[in-house]
């Protein structure tokens, strides 16, 4: 049992009765859940300190320091918190003696131990691990620990030269990964090349994940995982643009280009004069200058990346303002200085054909989306907008917690947002519920009771297409099922399954594994994985509109947008 935690008080003689109690949590407790569990528990009256200790893959301990007696109401609140996260709180595993007062009053929060999370002891650092050992401990242990119950074991290779193996020699191998061990030994015994163990392991792990048939699964190296977390938080280093893969025809020849879809406000790109609709033809300058067509779209984007404070040079082709379709392009050389900035997952404007209509475009759901959405609605309201088109065309989805936060603004208390079904067939629903302190238990846990239904009275329509997926479909299904607006466009992608990303740090490794862990249904119970959501009003883009990228489509040619506006009249 964890050591009792010192509790800061002003007067030693005025101490309330304190008791430390430990409950068992059953279910998969992952690192990303720990902060929300701790925050939710600490918001309850009488809870002074919280500690979550992971015992194994499907059991954890919740240790609390409680002021006064442990009531049935308190245990119901704790159970509700766990149920909302797909976990089960069981009878106290252990109950300690009353917590003694500290010898001296604590100096404050900075000196107290606070909440904590402990995991299994990782393997000793600094030792090389063979490919087979790594596969056995990382792939088998992690994947099966998620789906079944599996003991974590670790083995290390000795620092001597691998034994030479002759094909066909020795007894038959039994393990599923023994063939990899043989290949590894052959390479190390016979190749004249220098092997990169880190690259080899990453390649094997990525290959394993790709071969599982889980099309949404990914293995992230440490660097990729850091980039993924930064992207989820909207943290980027660059020039501040969103781009699309485009083509440009000049003198009868079609070239691949990078087309600027949006320029973020107050970004290096805006300062350098980049405009939406610019076509990047060349990357670099001087001897390093290459065409996007020659290196390809992906490599062009890689060349535009770089460290903070460095130059990003490129050349765009741009038609002068007011120029007709047939006029020649101007060639404009641009140099922007890369900076760290927060990306925009929400953009907004008034509809050019009717300025009482606000257009809010959501390009994804990350940790920036909620605040940017609120900014969009409040700004458009202040500018006199009376109805709103929420444009989710091309939105691939994102974080479940992010879309749940935004849905809270439209739903009522106790409304079901999503029902998930895991590998064991267990169904769990996320609902708009709160604890006694008024904090919501769904989404990020950062919203309060005052946020419930904040924008429920808005007149809205939702615009979708075949590229609207995952969290975008969850948002759409909630608006449809609760009859809060009209869905316009074409049938959505049909991704009704969710992924969980597991950090491998608790197993002593860098990187992370993302895999599909649940299917989910709409509030009315419709599972739409592989099917998609059919809009109330099915509207295909006109032939003229299809000549444009959806991000650059003018309002007067956007017949889907016009239909979404008409649906609110």
- Is the per-residue pLDDT at 11 higher than 50? no
Which residue would you say has higher pLDDT here, 439 or 387? 387
Taking 50 as the threshold, does the pLDDT of residue 411 lie above it? Answer: yes
9, pLDDT greater than 60: no
Alpha carbon 39 to its chain's center: 20
* Residue 116 pLDDT level (bands cut at 50, 70, 90): very low
* Cα–Cα nearest to 435, from 46, 24, 148, 133: 46
CATH code of the domain covering residue 561: 3.90.226.10
- Taking all residues of the chain, what is their mean pLDDT, rounded to a whole number? 80
Q: Is residue 82 located within the same domain as residue 200?
A: no
What pLDDT does residue 131 have? Answer: 52
pLDDT of residue 472: 94
Q: What is the pLDDT of residue 89?
A: 85
Q: Dump pLDDT digits (tens) for 331-387.
A: 999 999 999 888 889 999 999 999 999 999 998 999 999 999 999 999 999 999 999
pLDDT in tens, 207-254: 999 899 998 889 999 988 888 888 888 787 889 887 878 888 888 899
Query: What does the pLDDT read at residue 536?
Result: 97
Residue 179 lies in a domain: yes
Mean pLDDT over 91-117 rounds to 40
Between 105 and 475, the more confident residue is: 475
Higher per-residue confidence, 341 vs 306: 306
| pLDDT, greater one: 43 or 349 | 349
Task: Give whole-number Cα distances, 143 to 146, 189, 421, in Å.
Answer: 5, 31, 18
In a domain, 126, yes or no: no
What would the mean pLDDT of 273-295 be, rounded to a whole number? 91
Averaged pLDDT, 417-422: 93
Which of 423-431's residues contact partners 24+ apart within 8 Å by CB, and which partners?
Answer: 423/146, 423/147, 423/517, 423/518, 426/86, 428/83, 428/86, 430/84, 430/404, 431/84
Residue 60 has pLDDT above 80, yes or no: yes
* Full domain range(s) for residue 268: 235-342
351 belongs to a structural domain: yes
User: 36 in a domain, yes or no?
Assistant: yes
Residue 289: inside a domain: yes
Q: pLDDT-based confidence at 129, cuts 50/70/90?
A: very low
Determine the Cα–Cα distance for residues 244 and 277; give it in Å rounded to an integer.
Answer: 10
Verify that 358 and 465 share a domain, yes or no. Answer: yes
The per-residue pLDDT for 396 is 87
- Report the CATH number that the domain containing residue 91 is assigned in CATH: 3.30.70.1340
- Predicted confidence band of residue 184 (pLDDT cuts 50, 70, 90): confident
Q: What are all long-range contacts of 550-558, with beta carbons under 8 Å and residues at least 24 apart?
A: 550/393, 550/394, 550/465, 551/242, 551/244, 551/261, 551/262, 551/276, 551/394, 552/259, 552/261, 552/276, 552/277, 554/352, 555/351, 555/352, 555/353, 556/352, 556/353
Q: Per mean pLDDT, which of 93-97, 291-295, 480-484 is the most reliable? A: 480-484
Look at residue 54 in the predicted model and tell me its pLDDT: 82
- Is the same domain home to 440 and 474? yes
Question: Which pLDDT belongs to residue 151?
Answer: 22
263 close to 241: Cβ distance less than 8 angstroms: yes
**Percent with pLDDT over 90 in the chain:** 41
Question: What are the angstrom distances between the C-alpha of 493 and each of 47, 130, 133, 482, 561?
Answer: 45, 41, 39, 21, 19
**Given the structure tokens 């429920």, which residue do they identify?**
456
pLDDT reported for residue 31: 67
In a domain, 352, yes or no: yes
Span 500-522, pLDDT tens digits: 999 888 888 889 999 999 999 99
Q: Is the pLDDT of residue 10 over 80?
A: no
Q: What is the number of domains present in the chain?
A: 4
Most confident of 133-147, 208-222, 474-488: 474-488
- For residues 139 and 92, membership in a common domain is answered with no
- Is it the case that residue 415 has pLDDT exceeding 60? yes
Q: Is residue 380 part of a domain?
A: yes
Pair (268, 365) in one structural domain = no
Question: What Å distances lie between residue 165 and 136, 182, 191, 210, CA to CA?
Answer: 21, 7, 13, 28
Inside any domain, residue 1: no
Kindly state whether residues 457 and 336 are assigned to the same domain.
no
302 and 443 part of one domain: no
pLDDT of residue 384: 97
Claim to verify: residue 145 and residue 290 sit in the same structural domain: no
Q: Are residues 190 and 279 in the same domain?
A: no
Q: Please check whether residues 153 and 243 belong to one and the same domain.
A: no
Give the model's pLDDT for residue 109. Answer: 30
Task: Looking at the structure, tell me whether residues 31 and 100 fall in a common domain.
Answer: yes
Answer yes or no: is pLDDT of 97 > 70: no
What secondary structure letter does DSSP report for 440?
Answer: B
Domain co-membership, 361 together with 305: no
């Amino acid at each position: 049992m964890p050591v009792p935690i010192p509790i800061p008080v002003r007067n030693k003689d005025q101490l309330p009765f304190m008791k430390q109690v430990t409950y068992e949590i059953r279910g998969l407790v992952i690192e990303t859940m720990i902060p929300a569990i701790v925050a939710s528990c600490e918001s309850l009256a009488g809870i002074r300190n919280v500690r979550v200790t992971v015992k194994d893959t499907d059991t954890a301990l919740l240790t609390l320091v409680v002021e006064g007696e442990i009531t049935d109401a308190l245990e119901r609140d704790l159970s509700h918190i766990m149920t909302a996260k797909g976990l089960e709180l069981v009878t106290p595993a252990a109950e300690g003696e009353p917590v003694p007062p500290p010898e001296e009053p604590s100096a404050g929060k900075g000196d107290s131990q606070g909440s904590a999370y402990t995991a299994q002891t990782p393997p000793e650092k600094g030792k090389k691990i063979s490919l087979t050992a790594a596969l056995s401990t990382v792939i088998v242990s992690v994947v099966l620990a998620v789906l079944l119950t599996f003991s974590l074991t670790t083995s290390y290779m000795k620092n001597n030269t691998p034994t030479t193996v002759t094909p066909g020699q020795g007894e038959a191998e039994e393990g599923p990964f023994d063939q990899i061990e043989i290949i590894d030994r052959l390479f190390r015994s016979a190749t004249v090349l220098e092997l990169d163990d880190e690259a080899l392991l990453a390649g094997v792990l990525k290959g394993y994940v790709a071969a599982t048939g889980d099309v949404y699964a990914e293995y992230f190296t440490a660097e990729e995982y850091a980039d993924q977390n930064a992207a989820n938080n909207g943290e980027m280093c660059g020039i501040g643009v969103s781009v699309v893969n485009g083509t440009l025809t000049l003198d009868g020849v079609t070239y691949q280009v990078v087309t600027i879809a949006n320029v973020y406000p107050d970004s290096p790109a805006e300062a350098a004069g980049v405009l939406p609709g610019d076509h990047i033809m060349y990357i670099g300058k001087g001897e390093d200058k290459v065409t996007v067509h020659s290196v390809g779209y992906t490599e062009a984007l890689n060349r535009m990346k770089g460290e903070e404070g460095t130059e990003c040079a490129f050349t765009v082709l741009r038609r002068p303002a007011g120029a007709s379709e047939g006029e020649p392009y101007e060639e404009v050389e641009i140099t922007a200085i890369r900076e760290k900035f927060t990306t925009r997952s929400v953009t907004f404007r008034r509809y050019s054909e009717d300025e009482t209509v606000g257009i809010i475009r959501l390009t994804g759901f990350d940790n920036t989306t909620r605040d940017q959405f609120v900014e969009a609605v409040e700004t458009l309201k202040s500018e006199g907008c009376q109805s709103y088109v929420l444009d989710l065309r091309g939105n691939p989805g994102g974080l479940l917690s992010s879309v749940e936060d935004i849905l809270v603004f439209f739903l009522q208390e106790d409304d079901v947002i999503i029902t998930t079904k895991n590998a064991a067939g267990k169904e769990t629903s996320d609902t708009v519920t709160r604890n006694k302190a008024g904090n919501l238990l769904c989404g990020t846990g950062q919203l309060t009771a005052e946020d419930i239904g904040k924008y429920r009275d808005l007149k809205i329509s939702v615009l979708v297409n075949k590229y609207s997926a995952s969290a975008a479909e969850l948002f759409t299904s909630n608006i449809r099922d609760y009859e809060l607006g009209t869905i316009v466009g074409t049938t959505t992608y049909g991704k009704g399954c969710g992924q969980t990303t597991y950090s491998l740090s608790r197993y002593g490794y860098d990187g992370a594994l993302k895999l599909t862990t649940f299917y989910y249904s709409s509030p009315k119970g419709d599972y739409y994985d592989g099917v998609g959501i059919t809009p109330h009003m099915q509207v295909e883009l006109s032939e003229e509109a299809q000549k444009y990228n959806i991000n650059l489509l003018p309002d007067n040619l956007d017949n889907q947008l016009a239909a979404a506006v008409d649906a609110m009249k």
